């Protein structure tokens, strides 16, 4: 059990992060906190991809004259990282749109608290 936790501690950390993000998105009443939780959720998935791409004994995926190109296992896979670059860009765009919406909500209702908001929307 302890070995399991030690060997896969990165995934345990990511699971905790993911649940933290979900908890915040569902239960926090402040819209900015919801947005922060959403970013945490996205980050956990980014970390998941990146950590799934690493391995012991591998180096950065740039051709090294010493290592050569005969044995590709000496390099880690670059694909998860490139995928996550795209996912981070998508995440930034989402946060941008979300902040624009929050500004618009605040200018109309003068609050970002969901309970007060529901009250004022009636």
Partner 1 sequence: MERHLPVLIPLTLLTTAVVIPLAGGMSKRLAHPLAMVGTFLSLVFAIWGLARVLLEGPMRYHLGGWIPPIGIELVLDHLSSMMTVIILGVALPVLIHARKSIEAEHPEQVVPFFGICLLLLLGLTGIVLTGDLFNLYVFLEISSLAGYALVAVGDRQAPVAAFRYLILGTAGATFYLLGVGLVFMMTGSLNMADLVGLLPHVQDSPPVIVGFVLMVIGIGLKMALFPLHVWLPDAYTHASSAGSSLLAPLGTKVAAYVLIRLALFVFSREYAREELIVLDVIVWLAFGGIIAGSILAVAQTEMKRMLAYSSVAQIGYIALGIGLGSTLGLIGAMLHIMNHAVMKGALFLVAGNLRLKIGHSDLDRFDYSIQQQMPWSTAGFSVAALSMVGIPPLAGFFSKWYLVLASVEQNAWSAVAVIALGSLISAVYFFRVLERVYLRPPLAMGTATVSQTASNEAPLSMLIPVIALSVGLIVLGLLNAVIIDAAIAPLIPARWEKVP
Interacting residues with partner 1 (CB under 8 A): 18, 22, 25, 31, 34-35, 38, 41-42, 45, 48-49, 52, 80, 83, 86-87, 90, 93-94, 97-98, 100-102, 104-105, 108-109, 117, 121
Tokens of 21: 């993000």
Angle at 54 between CA 50 and CA 55, to 5 degrees: 165
CB-side neighbour CA atoms (13 Å) of 17 = 18
CB of 45 to partner 1, least distance (A): 5
Q: How far is the CB of 66 from partner 1 (least distance, A)?
A: 26
Q: For residues 56 and 66, which CB has a smaller minimum distance to partner 1 in the complex?
A: 56
Q: By C-beta, is 11 or 74 nearer to partner 1? A: 11
Please name the residue that has the structure tokens 């970002």: 112
What's the closest the beta carbon of residue 79 comes to partner 1, in angstroms?
A: 8
| Least distance CB 94 / partner 1 (angstroms) | 6
**Cβ closest to partner 1, residue 10 vs residue 65:** 10
The answer to whether the CB of 109 falls within 8 A of the CB of 120 is yes
**DSSP string covering 4-46, please?**
HHHHTHHHHHHHHHHHHHHHHHHH--BHHHHHHHHHHHHHHHH
Is the Cβ of residue 43 or residue 74 nearer to partner 1 in the bound state? 43
Contact yes or no for 113/30 (Cβ under 8 A): yes
């Amino acid at each position: 059990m302890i070995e399991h936790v030690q060997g896969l501690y990165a995934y345990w950390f990511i699971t905790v992060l993911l649940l933290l993000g979900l908890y915040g998105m569902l239960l926090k009443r402040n819209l900015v906190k919801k947005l922060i939780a959403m970013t945490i959720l996205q980050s956990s998935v980014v970390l998941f991809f990146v950590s799934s791409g690493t391995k012991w004994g591998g180096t950065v995926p740039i051709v090294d004259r010493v290592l050569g190109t005969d044995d590709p296992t000496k390099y880690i896979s670059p694909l998860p990282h490139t995928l996550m670059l795209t996912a981070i860009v998508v995440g930034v765009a989402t946060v941008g749109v979300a902040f624009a919406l929050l500004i618009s909500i605040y200018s109309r209702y003068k609050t970002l608290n969901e309970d007060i908001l529901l009250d004022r929307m009636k």
